[in-house]
Amino acid sequence: MIQILLILIISSIISISQDNFISQYNYGSMLYENPRGISCISCHGKYGEGKEIIRYINNHDKEVIIKGIDIRNISLKRFHQSLTTRHKVMPTYYLINKEIIAIYKYLKEKNYRLSHPNIDIEDEAIFVYEGEEESDE
């Protein structure tokens, strides 16, 4: 009797704790929107399409536009390199591989969902991207 009660308690705890975890999609979303206090959305846009950061006139009376690049169609390898390399404009976030992959997959899935509006938002089985492998590069 005690063993059955113990099994029921343990399985209840496991089932409750699983409900508290966020999905990979939500994890990627949180990281994309605010990875280390500066959001990727600010420069790369809601879908990774890239957006204007600033526009100004330089000393030679020429208009200069600084824009975040479109990151929707780059490979995981290039995405990883970009996030682990110093840039003149983009801050360094010091993300671990798991975080980089989560952001990458989030953008892929978000854009896939955008182009396939009839997909159930809660269905994580669509979390697929072709030709990329998760690695510890």
Share of the chain above pLDDT 70, in %: 72
- b vs e for 2-30, b when ≥16 Cβ sit within 10 Å of the residue's Cβ? eeeeeeeeeeeeeeeeeeeeeebbebbbe
Mean predicted lDDT score pLDDT of the chain: 80
Report the predicted TM-score, pTM, of the whole model to 2 decimal places: 0.69
- The pLDDT tens digits for 48-95 are 999 999 999 999 999 999 999 999 999 999 999 999 988 888 888 888
- Residue 128 pLDDT grade (very low, low, confident, very high; cuts 50, 70, 90): very low
Residues 70/50, Cβ–Cβ less than 8 Å: yes
